[in-house]
Amino acid sequence: METPSTPDEAEPATDFFKPFFTFILFLSLMACTNSGKKPGKEQALLRSDTGYITDEKKPFVNAKKKNSKPKKKIYLTFDDGPNKGTKNVLDIVQDENIPVTFFIVGEHVFASQGQRHNWNRLKAADNIEICNHSYTHAHNRYDRFYELPETVVKDMVKTRDSLLPETNIVRAPGRNSWRIDSLRYTDIKKSKLAMDSLQKAGFIVMGWDLEWHYDHKTFQTQNTADEMLTMIDSAFAKKRMRYPNNLVLLAHDQVYHSSADSLQLRTFIQKLKTRDDYELALVSAYPTIRKHQSITDTVRAVAPATDTVKPIKTDTL
Ligand SMILES: [Zn+2]
């Protein structure tokens, strides 16, 4: 019959193995110390070769922290070109090498040789996206224009078919309305049916979150570059935007025709570029548009253009 072992019986066994365990522990400690030392020497050599003098872990941790924080996106958009200000805007954004989106008015492309030339420059430029801002700009008579949703759709289709077959991103003239999947906003309710019709016809309607205002009589900006930067910071801080951490900024080409306002634009861009927390992007990269494009690329079907839209004379807003 087996007798259960008692604590008294176990004690001697522990005493017997104690020196053995101590020896194993000593060996393990030596092994750990050595395995830690060898790479340490290599790291020290690497650091001395590359000029690093601090703990190797620190730069890695800092880099990880820096990269893990996503940047806030700003979409810089210019409306109503090509017109007298387009050349200056294009020169500046090309010099500064930033991505910019132009929402153009179809009829302005054909209004003069100079504007045609600017249109060709826009098309040839790198880092530039061109989107649709209608054909007639409603002749600046918005209430009447939006009373007829079918005419609004035809006006967009005309610019798309004649100039911009590659994009279905539009901005409604004189209205800050949005139709991107479930992102829907109508600033003036009378235009609701027209905006719905644009979306039904396959267009993505993009408004804006913040505007660089200008005097509509003198065509001079009403905000300096510094004021715009403050307004942008405030919009992000107060989350005044349709989609979190993505701000669409509206400006107008024509305003930057003057050298004083051109300088403000250049200053604004240069200061924005120094900000590590912001990143400029093209509107096709706007979160809901990217998602929408992948869904609807294959189902774009818009009615053909007609000639029912009368042309306007020149580069009005
Ligand atoms: Zn406009």
Domain that holds residue 206: 72-299
Look at residue 190 and tell me if it is in a domain.
yes
Please report, in tens digits, the pLDDT of each residue of the chain (317 residues total): 333 333 333 333 444 445 555 555 444 444 433 433 333 333 333 333 333 333 333 443 444 455 568 999 999 999 999 999 999 999 999 999 999 999 999 999 999 999 999 999 999 999 999 999 999 999 999 999 999 999 999 999 999 999 999 999 999 999 999 999 999 999 999 999 999 999 999 999 999 999 999 999 999 999 999 999 999 999 999 999 999 999 999 999 999 999 999 999 999 999 999 999 999 999 999 998 877 665 555 444 444 443 333 333 333 33
Look at residue 197 and tell me if it is in a domain.
yes
Based on the fold, state whether residues 44 and 146 are members of the same structural domain.
no
**Residues whose beta carbons lie less than 5 angstroms from ion ligand 1:** 79-80, 173
Look at residue 56 and tell me if it is in a domain.
no
Rounded to the nearest whole angstrom, what is the distance from the C-alpha of residue 76 to the centroid of ligand 1? 15
- Three-state SS for the chain is CCCCCCHHHHHHHHHHHHHHHHHHHHHHHHHHHHHHHHHHHHHHHHHHHHCCCCCCHHHHHHHHHHHHCCCEEEEEEEEEECCCCHHHHHHHHHHCCCCEEEEECHHHHCCCHHHHHHHHHHHHCCCEEEEECCCCHHHHCHHHHHCCHHHHHHHHHHHHHHCCCCCCEECCCCCCCEEECCEEECCCHHHHHHHHHHHHCCCEECCCCEECCECCCCCCECCCHHHHHHHHHHHHHCCCCCECCEEEEEEEHHHHHCHHHHHHHHHHHHHHHCCCCEEECCHHHCHHHHHHHHHHHHHCCCCCCCCCCCCCCCCCC
CATH number at residue 125: 3.20.20.370
Rounded to the nearest whole angstrom, what is the distance from the C-alpha of residue 249 to the centroid of ligand 1? 13
Based on the fold, state whether residues 81 and 206 are members of the same structural domain.
yes
Domain count, the chain: 2
Based on the fold, state whether residues 26 and 130 are members of the same structural domain.
no
Based on the fold, state whether residues 44 and 137 are members of the same structural domain.
no
Look at residue 206 and tell me if it is in a domain.
yes
Q: What's the pTM value of the predicted model, to 2 decimals?
A: 0.73
Rounded to the nearest whole angstrom, what is the distance from the C-alpha of residue 300 to the centroid of ligand 1? 25
